[in-house]
Structures are given as C-alpha cells and as structure tokens.
Structure 1
C-alpha cells in the first residue's frame, strides 16, 4: 500500500476528524483525551509541522505534528493512525524525523502514557529510548517520555 505524507492545515475538517478519533481512543485507553497538552495554534510558526497521511485513494488515515521544545529539540504531538493501512505510523514518524533533521533539530522527544502499551512498543521499535520525564510530564507517573537523536 502506498502512503503519502503531506503538510496540511491542522484546522481542516480532515485533520480535526483524525484528532477527535485520537482523543476518543486515548480516553478509552488512558482515561484522558490528551487535549490539554496540545493546541494547534502552537503550530503557527516555521519551526512546526502538521502532516496528514493519505492512502492510495487520498483518504486521510493518520496525522502527526512537530513543534519546538528547545532550540535543537522538537516534540512529536498528536501522532495517530486509524490502522486502516499498515505502516502509517512508521511512515508518519519517518517523515517527521526527516523534516526535523532538515530544520536543524538534533533530537526528537515525545510523551505517551505508560498504559498505552501499543504506543510504547511502537516507539521502542522505531528507535526511541526512554528518558526522564520532561516538563510538563515531570512527576506524572502515568506518563513515559522518549527521545531519539537525529
């Protein structure tokens, strides 16, 4: 299956639909929809990116964002695949990593919930190592943070 990743408007109806699906899944898995740690307005600068993954028919089947965390560190936010097409998550993450490297980022970080075992295993498979929780996740035992050097 051919997956196309392209920059998109985080406020578009397709983007919002995927974000709502992600929030609903997170609420079921973790008891929290994750919305409090992401604001699409944070993507309104040249050092941030919002992308959609599309299947062969052009349907939006996944999304993801990068935003600056520090000068040379980007953070992955709102990564989601509806799992209708195998490989969407890996394609999204690879695209985000490539873009981050081209923008001068040297490291990517992210946070997920410990209970979200599917996400934890995915990030391990993609070469991310667990790190100490960074702000705003410090002291939150339900969160697990990861990083990958680019």
Structure 2
C-alpha cells in the first residue's frame, strides 16, 4: 500500500467524513466529558496544521494535527486511521510528519492526551515506539482516570 501524507485543509468533505469517523470511534470508549475533540473548523485555525494520509487512489485514510500552544510547546491532536488500514503504519507516517514539522518550527516539547482502556492499546504502542513517555496532566486538561498523557522532548536544531 502506498501512503502519502501532506498538509491539507480539514475543510474538505472527505476529511470531514474522516473526522466524523474518528468521533464515532471515540464515542463508546470514554465518557463524553473526557473527549477533548477539535471540530474541523477549530482544526483549520492558524495555530493548527493538519496532516492527511491518503492511499494510492487518493482516499483519505488517516489524519493527525499539530496544535501550537507557544513557541516551545506543541500538542498532537486528532490522530486517527480508518480501521481498514490499521497495522499498515499509517499512524506512524502521520506521527513522523507531525513530529518533523514540530522540530522544524523549533518546538521542543510535544505533548498529547489520549484515552485509556482496551480501545487505546494500539495508540499507546504507537506513541511509545515513537519515543513518547507517560507524564502528568498538562495544559488545561483535568487529571483523570480517563486520560493518558504523553510527552516527547525534541532537540533544538543547530544554528545555521
């Protein structure tokens, strides 16, 4: 399977459908008050860069976003791959693209919040394989039994 990952606007019908699938996937996994979703309109804001993974036919099969909180801190948001392509490294490609952009922007601290429970095992493996480690609650997230928090420190790029 050929996968391409590129920065795209979330304000496209196929991306909206992908985000709808993400929201539907999350609904039974955690209480709604502990699902910290961004709408596609929020994802289209100036502080957020959205990456879309597409297959060889151009079909949107996954998404992920970098939300910049300040010059040093970026948050990974809306990571999702369609169930039909899970296990084919789509999530890894998306996470690599988000991390690369964060480093290029000079972000030194990447954070993410995800859920807990059986539906999140694959996400945990992805993040841990990519060098993220568990941490405490950050930003304005409540510390709860429904959230797992991760962080990754990025090296500063050498001065040119």
1:144 is matched with which residue: 136, 148, 152?
148
2:138 equivalent in structure 1: 134
Evaluate the alpha carbon distance shift between residue 9 and residue 35 of structure 1 in structure 2; reply closer, same or farther with a 3 A threshold. Answer: farther
Give the structure 2 partner of residue 25 of structure 1: 25
Query: What residue number does 2:42 align with?
Result: 41
User: Contact 1:43–1:67 (CA<8 Å) still a contact in 2?
Assistant: no
Contact map agreement 1:27 1:33 (CA 8 A) in 2: no
> 2:14 aligns to what?
14
**1-side partners of 2:33 and 2:3: how far apart?**
27
Task: Give the match's secondary structure for 1:144.
Answer: strand
Shift of 1:52: 0.5
Q: 1:6 to 1:97 in 2, by over 3 A?
A: same
3-state SS of 1:29 partner: coil
What TM-score, normalized by structure 2, do the two folds share? 0.84
Shift of 1:31: 4.0
Q: CA RMSD in A?
A: 1.9
Relative to the length of structure 1, the TM-score reads 0.89
SS state at 1:141 partner: coil
For these two proteins, the number of residue pairs brought into alignment is 149
Aligned to 2:92: 90
Q: Which runs of 5+ in 1 are unaligned?
A: none
Could you tell me which of 124, 129, 142 is aligned with 2:128? 124
Q: Distance in 2 between matches of 1:69 and 1:61?
A: 27
